[in-house]
Amino acid sequence: MAGLREVIETKGLFCALYSDRGSHFFHTPKAGEPVDKQRLTQVGRALKELGVQMIPAYSPQARGRSERNFGTWQGRLPQELRLAGIHTLAEANRFLREQYIDAFNRKFTVMAEQKATAFRRTSRSDLDWVFTVQTERVVAKDNTVAIGERVWQIEKSGFRSTLAGCTVTIHEHLDGRVSLRYGPHVVGRFDDQGRPLTHPKKRRGKDGAVETGENRKQVSSRSHNSLEISPQTRDSHFPTAPTIAVPLTKRKKTAHAA
C-alpha cells in the first residue's frame, strides 16, 4: 500500500495493475485455481476505490522478469547495505532513494516507443483514507470497538450520545494511526500507541455540514512517511477478517464484544 500510494502521489493514477497472485493482491480459494475477484483484499479494495483494474498473472512467463529482479535484489541488496554500513530501516530507505534507484534506472531503463503516458495526475485528497487497512466492527454497549485484544473507546459525539449497536469502520493508517468512522463522521482518532488524539477544529462547509480538518486534509507528496513495510500480517480480507497486531489494551472478553 505504501508503494502504491507513493506512485500515485508522485506519478499519478494508472489504468491497471498487472501482478502475481500473492495473497495481498488476490484471494485464491484453492491453490492453482482462478482468483476470486469478488472477495477483495485490502489492496484490491483500495484500487477499486480509485478505479484501477487489477489483472492477475497466471503464466510463469508473465512473472519471469520480475522474479529475476527479485532474485537480484534479494541477493545483492543485502551486500550493498552491509558494505555501506547500514543497519536500520530508515538508513536503508535513504540509501535506496538517494543512490540505488537512480543508479539502477540509469543502467537498465529502456525508452518506451510511445512518449505519451497513461498516468494521470490525481485530484484525490483522501488517499490517507483509501490506503488504510479497513475493518468493520459493531460498537459494543460500552461504546467501544475492538480487534482482537485492542480496544478503542468512542467518545460522545454531538449528534448522538452512543453508537452502541452501530457498525463503524476501523481505519489503520500506514503510519500506525487508527481512525474510526461512522458513515461520513470521524468518531475516533488514535496515535500508534492507542492514545486518543485531539479532534481538529471544526468548521462549517458550504452546505452547512460540519467538516473537520481530518476530512479536509489535502494530500501532497511530502505528507507521508518514508516507504516502510510493516512487520504485521496484513493479508486480511475486507471487511470482517481480524488483523494480527500487538495488544495495546486488554480487557475481559464479553458476550457483546465485536
Residue 107, H or E segment:
helix 101-108
For residue 115, the model assigns a pLDDT of 86
Classify strands 150-153 and 144-147 as parallel, antiparallel or unpaired: antiparallel
Across residues 99-118, what is the average pLDDT? 89
Q: Which of 149, 153, 142, 233 is nearest to 190 (CA)?
A: 153
Tell me which residue range forms the domain holding 69: 2-108
Higher pLDDT, 152 or 71: 152
Across residues 18-28, what is the average pLDDT? 92
For residue 209, the model assigns a pLDDT of 53
Residue 94 in any domain: the answer is yes
For residue 66, the model assigns a pLDDT of 77
Is the pLDDT confidence value at 4 over 90? yes
DSSP H stretches of helix in 12-152:
42-49, 60-83, 89-95, 101-108, 127-130
> Of all residues in the chain, what percent carry a pLDDT higher than 90?
53
Across residues 22-49, what is the average pLDDT? 93
Residue 149 in any domain: the answer is no
**Which residues 6+ apart lie within 8 Å of 85 measured at CB?**
none
Across residues 106-127, what is the average pLDDT? 90
Residue 153, H or E segment:
strand 150-153
For residue 201, the model assigns a pLDDT of 52
For residue 218, the model assigns a pLDDT of 39
Classify each residue of 171-192 as buried b or exposed e, where b means 16 or more C-beta atoms within 10 Å of its C-beta.
bbbbeebbbbbbeebbbbbbee
Is the pLDDT confidence value at 84 over 70? yes
Residue 21: CB atoms within 10 A of its CB come to 16
Residue 212 in any domain: the answer is no
Say if residues 209 and 199 touch (Cβ distance below 8 Å): no
Higher pLDDT, 136 or 67: 136
Residue 178 has phi, psi (to 5 degrees) of: -130, 130
Q: Which of 71, 40, 69 is nearest to 56 (CA)?
A: 40
Residue 63 in any domain: the answer is yes
Amino acid identity of residue 96, one-letter, is L
pLDDT tens sequence across 157-180: 888 889 999 999 999 999 999 999
Residue 62 in any domain: the answer is yes
Say if residues 147 and 245 touch (Cβ distance below 8 Å): yes
Residue 214, H or E segment:
helix 213-216
- Structural domains in the chain (count): 1
For residue 158, the model assigns a pLDDT of 85
Residues in the chain: 258
Which three three-digit cell numbers place residue 64?
A: 519471469
150 has which bridge partners? 147
pLDDT, the chain, mean: 81
Which three three-digit cell numbers place residue 48?
A: 477499486
Residue 238: CB atoms within 10 A of its CB come to 19
For residue 199, the model assigns a pLDDT of 57
SS3 at position 96: helix
Residue 52 in any domain: the answer is yes
Compute CA distances 156 → 17, 161, 164, whole Å: 42, 5, 11
Residue 218 in any domain: the answer is no
Residue 85 in any domain: the answer is yes
Is the pLDDT confidence value at 244 over 80? no
For residue 234, the model assigns a pLDDT of 44
